[in-house]
């Protein structure tokens, strides 16, 4: 045993804690609830709550909270202490089953897209027993779903659980057809790699743009960026190393399988990858990872930036979700199997995914859309905004052979009969990896690479689960009536490849040729969030969600509005911050530098009548001109913000921000950055890029 294994999960009311502290029958009932989604009996809930409370108090907890994930994308908690007054004036520590199962936060200020206002003023939180309770900051946190009294989901967990149920239902139908009668549950599994930046806290505090927006709105290019590629996997500086070690320790205590930590491409950029787990837990854990990164950074005099694009000119941060489907019998359904039947089954699941990605490109795209991520996608550092998938050379050869009706594949002089013999296990060789694809097959799972670093992984997982559930249900409908199962499976796979192969692209997704080629293939290219979001409410998509009971009609519309409004609000905050910094910091700083220069020139002339003041004169002239230009650009940005108020339709507002406000912001920045290059650094009002990126 070492410290890591001693501490792992010590702050989690996990299976070990449950089995030790609960009576056998209660433990069994709870396990059934967790595994089969059965509802929990109240008397059992009381016993569980009491055991949880005793455990938590022993670990120093004084409070409990329902920990939930509202539509803000971050987690929310409202703490209540365990204390209860007794008639003699003393207190006891109490926690009832009722308090465990249901909470009623006064939640009127969370975004609901009108859902709560129309039906009920308040929402409630309900325990999600499939995710373990844990202790954080002396508080017992109970993972919960958050709904309105009308039963509408107001959070990111409820639809995620529904989507997991949808894919479970449909995958089971398909698995039964292949004779897998021992499988009773299918789960999706996820490993979410998280990228982030660390900057010095003292420097951070001098930048209003970082404080209010999480990204820099100004900043001239430093002499050095990421061009030497010396940061990627480079040696980790001692201060960062100490941060990572403490982060791992904190995460391990919370049962998070933090595994890999390394430096990323951009200076000051890093990555953490946990070991995969079931989707629901992986989603909770990713929230905890982001929260802990911020907390631990602060203890080391650092600030963790999770924004998708904190700095122009160097790579931004993303999040990759590695996604697969597995059975409760321990089989990864995206791993080619050992028998001809498993092999056909693998191909059928693969075909379902190919069809899903092609038919629902729009949903995949919008699941990664946000104001922050708009700075990355399509910017030669992240996949383009065009959704496609990578299968790799080996698997492509198999798909080609099936498409051409050959039942044989010649590989290394060995003949392989498709659907009859065993498929090769595909190499998981890093050299074969395509790092530019938005959705890449990596041997036994897919890696969805479009996500932004700050986003909850719930949205993209909801989409993946639901669209694959849909195609599996279509396949099951066909195959359940099949007379010649083996042939029909192969025929279905073949038909799918022919109809949907346009979505497969194994080349360089960053190239201009691909953009042109994708257009020829008729693939969507939804460049920004404002372009992508309207797809959410398209008829085919609403029908999909309703059919699989993932969203009600009203929920889709509410979410669509929340996302649109959020986009415009983010841009509005950025624009206001920009105006503030430009007017109150940059213009005055440049002005005072101009005065310094002028005074210098005058002093020189007093000393030597014909002194050469070329430098001062030139700089004063240049900076004065730039200041005037900047002043006008600031006015234009201000006007744009006023004009935005004329629109009421959320889509029109979002489009206006995208087309007009963002452009006006960019124009202010260009002038400011040019002035920064000409101004004495001791006069510049906030730390430059060079310090932010290289001083950690």
Residue 493 CB, nearest distance to ligand ADP (Å)?
22
User: Between residue 122 and residue 161, which ones bind ligand ADP under the rule CB under 6 A?
Assistant: none
The four Cα atoms 370, 371, 373, 376 give a dihedral, to 10 degrees, of 150
Q: Are strands 389-390 and 439-441 parallel, antiparallel or unpaired?
A: parallel
Q: What is the C-alpha separation between 192 and 322, in angstroms, rounded?
A: 6
SS3 569: helix
Distances (CA, A) of 267 to 161, 193, 384, 398, 626: 38, 18, 23, 41, 30
Q: What is the C-alpha separation between 451 and 468, in angstroms, rounded?
A: 18
Nearer to ligand ADP, 143 or 191 (CB): 191
Nearer to ligand ADP, 427 or 694 (CB): 427
CB atoms within 10 A of CB 339: 10
Nearer to ligand ADP, 276 or 505 (CB): 276
Q: Rule CB under 6 A: is residue 322 a binding residue for ligand ADP? A: yes
Q: Rule CB under 6 A: is residue 275 a binding residue for ligand ADP? A: yes
Rg, Å, the chain Cα set: 28
| Candidate ranges 38-46, 130-138, 442-450, 531-539; the one touching ligand ADP (CB under 6 A) | 442-450
Do 561 and 650 meet the contact criterion of CB atoms below 8 Å apart? yes
CB atoms within 10 A of CB 58: 8
Nearer to ligand ADP, 38 or 428 (CB): 428
| Candidate ranges 82-90, 179-187, 441-449, 593-601; the one touching ligand ADP (CB under 6 A) | 441-449
Residue 334 CB, nearest distance to ligand ADP (Å)?
7
Q: Rule CB under 6 A: is residue 276 a binding residue for ligand ADP? A: yes
Nearer to ligand ADP, 256 or 558 (CB): 256
CA angle 546–115–34, rounded 5-degree value: 60
Nearer to ligand ADP, 278 or 591 (CB): 278
| Candidate ranges 24-32, 189-197, 440-448, 600-608; the one touching Mg ion (CB under 5 A) | 189-197
350 binds, among Mg ion, ligand ADP, none (CB under 5 to 8 A by kind): none
CB-based closest residue to ligand ADP: 191
Q: Rule CB under 5 A: is residue 193 a binding residue for Mg ion? A: yes
Nearer to Mg ion, 77 or 193 (CB): 193
| Candidate ranges 142-150, 437-445, 508-516, 538-546; the one touching ligand ADP (CB under 6 A) | 437-445
Residue 289 CB, nearest distance to ligand ADP (Å)?
12
Nearer to Mg ion, 123 or 383 (CB): 383
62 binds, among Mg ion, ligand ADP, none (CB under 5 to 8 A by kind): none
DSSP state of 234: P
Nearer to ligand ADP, 279 or 528 (CB): 279
Strand partners, 200: 302
Binding mask 494-523 for Mg ion (x = CB under 5 A): ------------------------------
Q: What is the C-alpha separation between 682 and 617, in angstroms, rounded?
A: 20
Q: Rule CB under 6 A: is residue 187 a binding residue for ligand ADP? A: no
The long-range contacts involving 224-229, CB below 8 angstroms and separated by at least 24 positions, are 224/267, 224/690, 224/694, 225/266, 225/267, 225/313, 225/314, 225/693, 226/265, 226/266, 226/267, 226/314, 226/315, 229/265
593 binds, among Mg ion, ligand ADP, none (CB under 5 to 8 A by kind): none
Q: Rule CB under 6 A: is residue 444 a binding residue for ligand ADP? A: yes
Nearer to ligand ADP, 233 or 631 (CB): 233
Q: Rule CB under 6 A: is residue 442 a binding residue for ligand ADP? A: yes
Q: Which of 9, 105, 159, 191 binds ligand ADP (CB under 6 A)?
A: 191
Q: Count Cα neighbours of 534 within 13 Å in the Cβ-side half-sphere.
A: 12
The set of residues, in sequence order, having a beta carbon less than 8 Å from that of 311 and lying 6+ positions away, is 197, 215, 216, 219, 266, 689, 692, 693
Length of the chain (residues):
696
Count of H-run helices and E-run strands, the chain: 25, 19
Q: Rule CB under 6 A: is residue 189 a binding residue for ligand ADP? A: yes
Q: Rule CB under 6 A: is residue 167 a binding residue for ligand ADP? A: no
User: Between residue 318 and residue 357, which ones bind Mg ion under the rule CB under 5 A?
Assistant: 320
Do 142 and 110 meet the contact criterion of CB atoms below 8 Å apart? no
Q: What is the C-alpha separation between 285 and 128, in angstroms, rounded?
A: 14
Q: Rule CB under 6 A: is residue 324 a binding residue for ligand ADP? A: yes
Nearer to ligand ADP, 41 or 335 (CB): 335
The set of residues, in sequence order, having a beta carbon less than 8 Å from that of 193 and lying 6+ positions away, is 271, 272, 273, 319, 320, 321, 322
Q: What is the C-alpha separation between 433 and 593, in angstroms, rounded?
A: 52
Distances (CA, A) of 283 to 37, 323, 673: 18, 12, 39
Q: Which of 11, 17, 273, 563 binds ligand ADP (CB under 6 A)?
A: 273
Residue 459 CB, nearest distance to Mg ion (Å)?
19
Nearer to ligand ADP, 256 or 297 (CB): 256
Residue 320 CB, nearest distance to Mg ion (Å)?
5
Q: Which of 445, 449, 548, 655 binds ligand ADP (CB under 6 A)?
A: 445
Strand partners, 197: 269, 305
Give the binding-site size for ligand ADP (rule: CB under 6 A).
15
Binding residues for Mg ion, rule: CB under 5 A, are 193, 320
Residues that bind ligand ADP (CB under 6 A): 189-191, 193, 273-276, 322-324, 332, 442, 444-445
């Amino acid at each position: 045993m070492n410290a890591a294994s001693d501490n792992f999960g010590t702050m989690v009311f996990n299976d070990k804690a449950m089995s030790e502290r609960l009576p056998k029958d209660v433990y069994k009932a709870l396990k059934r609830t967790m595994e089969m989604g059965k509802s929990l009996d109240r008397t059992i809930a009381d016993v569980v709550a009491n055991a949880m409370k005793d455990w938590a108090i022993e670990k120093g907890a004084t409070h409990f909270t329902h920990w939930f994930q509202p539509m803000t994308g971050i987690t929310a908690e409202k703490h209540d202490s365990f204390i209860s007054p007794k008639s003699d004036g003393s207190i006891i520590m109490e926690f009832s089953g009722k308090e465990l199962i249901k909470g009623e936060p006064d939640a009127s200020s969370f975004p609901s897209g009108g859902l709560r206002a129309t039906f009920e003023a308040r929402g409630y939180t309900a325990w999600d027993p499939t995710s373990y309770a844990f202790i954080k900051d002396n508080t017992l946190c109970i993972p919960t779903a958050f709904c309105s009294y009308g039963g509408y989901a107001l959070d990111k967990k409820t639809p995620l659980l529904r989507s997991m149920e949808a894919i479970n239902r449909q995958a089971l139908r398909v698995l039964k057809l292949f004779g897998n009668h021992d499988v009773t549950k299918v789960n999706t599994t996820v490993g979410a790699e998280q990228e982030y930046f660390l900057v010095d806290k003292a420097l951070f505090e001098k930048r209003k743009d970082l404080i209010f927006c999480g990204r820099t709105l100004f900043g001239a290019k430093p002499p050095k960026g990421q061009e030497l590629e010396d940061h990627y996997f480079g040696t980790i500086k001692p201060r960062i190393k100490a941060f990572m070690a403490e982060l791992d320790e904190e995460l391990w205590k919370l049962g998070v399988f933090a595994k890999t930590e390394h430096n990323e491409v951009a200076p000051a950029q890093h990555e953490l990858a946990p070991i995969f787990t079931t989707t629901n837990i992986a989603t909770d854990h990713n929230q905890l990872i982001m929260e802990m990164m911020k907390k631990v950074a602060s203890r080391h005099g650092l600030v963790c930036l999770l924004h998708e694009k904190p700095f122009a000119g160097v790579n931004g941060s993303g999040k990759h979700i590695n996604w697969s489907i597995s059975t409760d019998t321990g089989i990864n359904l995206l791993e080619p199997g050992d028998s001809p039947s498993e092999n056909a089954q693998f191909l059928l699941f693969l075909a379902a995914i190919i069809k899903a990605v092609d038919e629902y490109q729009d949903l995949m795209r919008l699941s990664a859309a946000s104001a922050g991520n708009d700075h990355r996608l399509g910017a030669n550092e992240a996949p383009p905004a065009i959704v496609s998938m990578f299968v790799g050379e080996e698997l492509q050869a198999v798909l080609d052979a099936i498409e051409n009706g050959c039942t044989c594949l010649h590989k290394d002089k060995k003949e392989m009969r498709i659907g009859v013999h065993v498929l090769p296990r595909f190499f998981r060789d890093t050299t074969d990896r395509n790092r530019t694809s938005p959705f890449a097959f990596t041997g036994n799972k897919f890696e969805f690479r479009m996500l932004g670093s700050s986003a909850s992984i719930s949205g993209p997982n909801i989409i993946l689960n639901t669209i694959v559930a849909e195609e599996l249900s279509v396949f099951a409908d066909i195959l359940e009536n099949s007379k010649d199962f083996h042939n029909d499976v192969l025929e279905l796979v073949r038909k799918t490849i022919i109809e949907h192969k346009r979505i497969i692209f194994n080349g360089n997704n960053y190239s201009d040729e691909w953009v042109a080629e994708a257009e020829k293939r008729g693939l969507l290219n939804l460049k920004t969030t404002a372009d992508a979001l309207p797809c959410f409410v398209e008829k085919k998509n609403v029908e999909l969600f309703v059919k699989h009971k993932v969203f009600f009609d009203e929920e889709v519309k509410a979410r669509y509005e929340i996302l649109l409004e959020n986009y415009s609000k983010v841009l509005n905050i950025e624009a206001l911050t920009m105006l503030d910094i430009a007017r109150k910091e940059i213009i005055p700083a440049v002005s005072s530098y101009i005065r310094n220069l002028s005074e210098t020139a005058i002093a020189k002339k007093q000393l030597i009548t014909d002194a050469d003041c070329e430098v001062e004169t030139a700089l004063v002239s240049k900076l004065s001109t730039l200041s005037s230009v900047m002043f006008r650009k600031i006015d234009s940005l201000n006007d744009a913000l006023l004009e935005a108020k004329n629109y009421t339709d959320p889509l029109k507002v979002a489009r206006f921000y995208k087309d007009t406000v963002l452009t006006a912001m960019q124009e202010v920045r260009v002038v400011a950055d040019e002035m920064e290059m000409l101004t004495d650094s001791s006069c510049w009002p906030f730390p430059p890029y060079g310090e932010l990126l290289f001083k950690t």
